[in-house]
């Protein structure tokens, strides 16, 4: 397994791009529209994600669309981490509520 994937998802902007693409495939322009950084900076991030197979590109007519590569992301050991974190936070909040219930 390519270790670059871990480096790739360690960056918050790249995680944000992945989150966008998990919902739907997008063109580079559409992705860049979600960030304050320059289009070039966003393109670099996209390239890093392409290089480690986290996203795939597909030509549709004159446009390139980037797709979330779920298969690749599944290989990431930490794939359950955000999920675990959400439940952990939620249950820690519940601990506090239960004290006063």
Partner 1 sequence: MTNNTIITKDLPNRKINVTRPFAATVDKVWKAFTDSTVLDQWWAPRPWRAETKTMNFTEGGYWLYCMISPEGDQKAWCKVSFHTIVPGQSFTSTANFCDEDGNINEDFPAMHWLVKFEATATGAQVVVDISFDNDADMNKIVEMGFEGGFTMALGNLDELFAA
Q: Kindly list the residues in this chain that would bind partner 1 in the complex (CB under 8 A).
A: 10, 12, 15-16, 18-20, 22-23, 68, 70, 73-74, 79-80, 82-99, 101
Output the smallest distance, CB 101 to partner 1, in A. Answer: 5
Q: Which is nearer to partner 1, 16 or 30 (CB)?
A: 16
What residues pair up with 56 in beta bridges, in sequence order?
Answer: 67
Q: Which is nearer to partner 1, 50 or 73 (CB)?
A: 73
């Amino acid at each position: 397994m390519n270790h670059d994937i871990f480096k790739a998802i360690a960056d918050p902007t790249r995680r944000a791009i992945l989150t966008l693409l998990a919902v739907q495939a997008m063109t580079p322009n559409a992705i860049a529209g979600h960030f304050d950084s320059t289009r070039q900076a966003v393109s670099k991030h996209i390239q890093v994600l392409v290089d480690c197979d986290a996203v795939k590109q597909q030509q549709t007519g004159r446009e390139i669309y980037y797709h979330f590569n779920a298969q690749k992301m599944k290989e990431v050991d930490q794939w359950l981490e955000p999920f675990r974190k959400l439940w952990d936070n939620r249950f820690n909040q519940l601990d506090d509520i239960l004290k006063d219930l």
